[in-house]
């Protein structure tokens, strides 16, 4: 049955794709990185010369993964199949009798970036394999220039083919990955085929059941990124708590060793110079100038920074600030700070979101937190959000909690699952460790305690520390509770806490479980750890506009508002509390939520999916406004 595929002859990709041997920039005092760090970082790729491949793409569903295995299940060489470099239309013109089973270049068209669930009604609940195809010309082929094909994110497993060659693959739905395609590109009519499989499995991260919609597909920008042959693959530039500006730079390319590197901040008349070692690495540092304006939510000062090395010049906008913990306080730029926040899923406002995050969509969401709620902090849950959002938080002045989707019952005893989680963590940190707004790396959410879980998360927490010793590490934990003298009594005692800088607990008393909302304010919290606590989640559901002022029944705005009042009253009495991020800013899609009020949405938002503010929104914004005024 597969004869047709014989007419395609392909050269194995391995010969052509340039193997990446860069290693991320590693501070001299940092422990060795695990092997899960990506080969190519391509830091600040969004600020490099390039060509966008976003826009209309062909797409073709493949529910039986027919493009991957033949009718007896024997794995197929995709470069002889859907990944081949055949223009079927031209072939048919040449030979009307030619046989073919599919032609992606004439398949339906949908926008990228976007999840495919918005492409057509029948794809609303489709999870599985999808083939994408795009033909394009490029002007980036120049001698002495390399070209990378970069995906800002694709959910979940991605396989890439260019001009009939297998380029590579990636696992993980929310972090960037790139391939050097310099030797595969041609000027005209490039044939790019991308297979994206959104299937969640028991071993994937996250696993099959989550309380959010799986937005499968090419959900973020696809670009061609050009660099000189030897280029700045990674840099890590920051202010340290001992008053130094440090810069670690890693070059990749034939001339990476013995290269002079200059990191400069013109506005501070600052220039740091050094020469790379055999690995293409250099670590630079200098005392921070007295007139440095530190970045903070109230003063989100960003400096133009450039890194020059040989023919390469890479710029960025970086804020300089320090973050640390002292006892039960979180300290920003040497001063205690209370995190006035809320949680957020990556889902734009509107009745039919497709995880299409543009600067406008991101600004709309973050403004509702900054100006609407008088917040200074956002928990980006439960996976790395777009770099558009973390850059927006830098610009607007919002502190960020960034998380990898180790969510609920991940397969903690599977070493491959750990590897996937570690590489997600590494990709996330290497993408955003120059973002001043990001202060906390979270390794997990609501995971069941076990030995396997503890060692899995300990490995992740240590990986985060190795990759970035300048930020705080945390995880959203669960606690037990008991009734003591008639009040709810909670002790925070998760065995993971010694590995964390900040404790964070999700608490839903008064919503889940049988505690009465009236009992919440008197709740007593205990912790033997001299560490700050964030209430990383609390919330109650209501559909916008559903009211019951008399009985304050559940699923009404009145109940939700009262729930907030009572929980905030409880928060006021926790002596080691350093921050709040209620669940959640906006109602969001969740296939688990199907009752009469929910209809496929989790309704714990303080605003509706269309941005309508519920009563609880004003309870929280008043509370934060008073707190901000007291400062
Ligand atoms: C959990 C979980 C969220 C979920 C929320 C809820 O705590 O972390 O992902 O949506 O509770 O039940 O609404």
Q: Whose CA is nearest to atom 2 of ligand 1?
A: 211
Over range 280-308, report the average pLDDT: 97
**Token pair in block for residue 78:** 């995709």
514 pLDDT exceeds 90? Answer: no
Q: Which has the minimum average pLDDT: 86-95, 267-276, 390-399, 493-502?
A: 86-95
Say whether pLDDT at 9 is over 90: no
| Angle formed at CA 234 by CA 232 and CA 236, multiple of 5 degrees | 120
- Per-residue confidence at 630, pLDDT binned at 50, 70, 90? confident
Q: Pick the closest to residue 201 from 211, 189, 212, 209 (CA basis).
A: 209
- 479 vs 505: CA distance, rounded Å: 7
The pLDDT of residue 625 is 98
- The yes-or-no verdict on residue 3 having pLDDT over 70 is no
112 forms beta bridges with 55
* Residue 77: per-residue pLDDT: 86
Q: Which residue has the tokens 């010309």?
A: 137
pLDDT digits (tens, 9 = 90+) for 144-159: 999 999 999 999 999 9
Token couple for 528: 């033997």
DSSP state of 20: P
For residues 457-482, give the mean pLDDT: 96
Inform me whether the pLDDT recorded for 307 exceeds 80: yes
Q: Tell me: pLDDT of 510 over 70.
A: yes
Band (pLDDT 50/70/90 cuts) for residue 166 is very high
Question: Which residue's CA is the nearest one to ligand 1's atom 12?
Answer: 211
At 80, the pLDDT band (50, 70, 90 cuts) reads: confident
Pocket lining for ligand 1, CB < 6 angstroms: 211, 382, 445-446, 506, 537, 583, 602, 604
Structure confidence at residue 22 (pLDDT): 54
Q: Return the best residue to mutate from 537, 560, 585, 616 for the ligand 1 pocket (most ligand atoms within 8 A of CB).
A: 537
Q: How far is the centre of ligand 1, averaged over its atoms, from the C-alpha of 614 (Å)?
A: 19
Q: How far is the CA of 211 from the centre of ligand 1 (A)?
A: 6
Apex CA 291: angle with CA 289 and CA 294, to 5°? 90
Ligand 1 atom with minimal separation from the 407 CA? 8
Lowest mean pLDDT, pick from 79-93, 460-474, 519-533, 588-602? 79-93
Query: How much is the average pLDDT of 163-178?
Result: 97
Q: Higher model confidence: residue 537 or residue 70?
A: 537
Give the bridge partners for 487, in sequence order: 484
> What are the pLDDT digits (tens) for 404-422?
999 999 999 999 999 999 9
Average pLDDT over residues 548-554: 96
For the cut 70, the answer to whether the pLDDT of residue 485 exceeds it is yes
Per residue in 320-355, pLDDT (tens digit) is 999 999 999 999 999 999 999 999 999 999 999 999
Separation CA 278–CA 185 (nearest Å): 30
Q: How confident is the model at residue 88 (pLDDT cuts 50, 70, 90)?
A: confident
- Is 400 in contact with 442 (CB distance < 8 Å)? no
For the CA of 512, the nearest atom of ligand 1? 12
Supply the residue whose CA is at minimum distance from atom 4 of ligand 1. 211
């Amino acid at each position: 049955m597969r004869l047709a595929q014989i007419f395609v002859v392909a050269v194995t990709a391995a010969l052509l794709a340039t193997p990446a041997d860069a290693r991320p920039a590693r501070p001299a005092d940092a422990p060795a990185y695990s092997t899960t760090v990506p080969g190519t970082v391509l830091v600040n790729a969004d600020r490099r010369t390039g060509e966008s491949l976003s826009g209309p793409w062909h797409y073709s569903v493949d529910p039986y993964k027919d493009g991957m295995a033949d009718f007896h299940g024997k794995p197929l060489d995709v470069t002889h199949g859907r990944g081949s470099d055949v223009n079927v239309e031209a072939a048919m013109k040449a030979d009307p009798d030619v046989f073919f089973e599919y032609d992606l270049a004439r398949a339906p068209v949908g926008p990228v970036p976007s999840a495919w669930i918005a492409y057509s009604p029948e794809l609303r609940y489709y999870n599985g394999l999808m083939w994408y195809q795009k033909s394009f010309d490029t002007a980036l082929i120049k001698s002495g220039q390399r070209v990378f094909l970069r995906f800002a994110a694709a959910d979940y497993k991605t396989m890439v083919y260019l001009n009939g060659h297998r380029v590579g693959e990636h696992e993980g739905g929310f972090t960037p990955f790139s391939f050097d395609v310099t030797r595969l590109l041609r000027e005209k009519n490039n044939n790019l085929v991308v297979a994206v499989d959104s299937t969640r499995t028991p071993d994937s991260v996250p696993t099959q059941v989550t309380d959010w919609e799986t937005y499968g597909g090419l959900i973020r920008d696809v670009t061609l990124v050009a660099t000189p042959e030897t280029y700045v693959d990674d840099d890590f530039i920051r202010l340290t708590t001992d008053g130094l500006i440090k810069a670690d730079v890693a070059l990749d390319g034939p001339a990476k060793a013995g290269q002079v590197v200059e990191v400069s901040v013109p506005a501070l008349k600052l220039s740091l110079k050094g020469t790379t070692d055999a690995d293409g690495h250099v670590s630079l540092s200098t005392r921070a100038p007295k007139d440095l304006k530190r970045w903070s939510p109230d003063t989100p000062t960003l400096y133009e920074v450039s890194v020059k090395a040989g023919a390469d010049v890479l710029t960025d906008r970086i804020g300089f600030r320090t973050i640390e913990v002292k006892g039960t306080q979180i300290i920003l730029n040497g001063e205690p700070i209370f995190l006035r926040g809320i949680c957020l899923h990556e889902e734009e406002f509107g009745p039919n979101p497709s995880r299409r995050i543009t600067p406008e969509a991101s600004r709309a969401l973050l403004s509702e937190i900054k100006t609407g709620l008088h917040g200074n902090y956002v928990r980006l849950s439960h996976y790395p959000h777009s770099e558009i959002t973390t850059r927006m938080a830098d610009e607007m002045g919002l502190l960020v909690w960034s998380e990898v989707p180790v969510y609920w019952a991940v397969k903690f005893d599977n070493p491959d699952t750990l590897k996937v989680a570690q590489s997600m963590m590494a990709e996330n940190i290497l993408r955003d460790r120059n973002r001043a707004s990001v202060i906390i790396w979270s390794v997990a959410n609501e995971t069941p305690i076990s030995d396997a879980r503890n060692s899995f998360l300990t490995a992740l927490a240590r990986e985060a520390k190795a990759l970035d010793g300048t930020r705080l590490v945390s995880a959203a934990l669960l606690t037990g509770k008991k009734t003591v003298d008639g009040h709810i009594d909670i002790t925070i005692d998760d065995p993971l806490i010694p590995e964390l800088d900040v404790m964070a607990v999700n608490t839903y008393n008064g919503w889940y479980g049988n505690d009465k909302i009236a009992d919440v304010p008197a709740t007593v919290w205990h912790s033997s750890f001299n560490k700050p606590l964030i209430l990383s989640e609390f919330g109650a559901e209501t559909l916008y506009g559903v009211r019951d002022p008399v009985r304050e029944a559940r699923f009404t705005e009145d109940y939700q508002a009262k729930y907030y009042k009572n929980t905030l009253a409880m928060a006021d009495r926790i002596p080691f509390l350093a921050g709040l991020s209620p669940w959640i800013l906006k109602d969001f899609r969740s296939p688990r939520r199907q009752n009469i009020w929910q209809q496929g949405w989790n309704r714990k938002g303080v605003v509706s999916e269309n941005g309508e503010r519920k009563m609880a929104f004003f309870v929280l914004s008043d509370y934060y406004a008073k707190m901000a005024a007291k400062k």
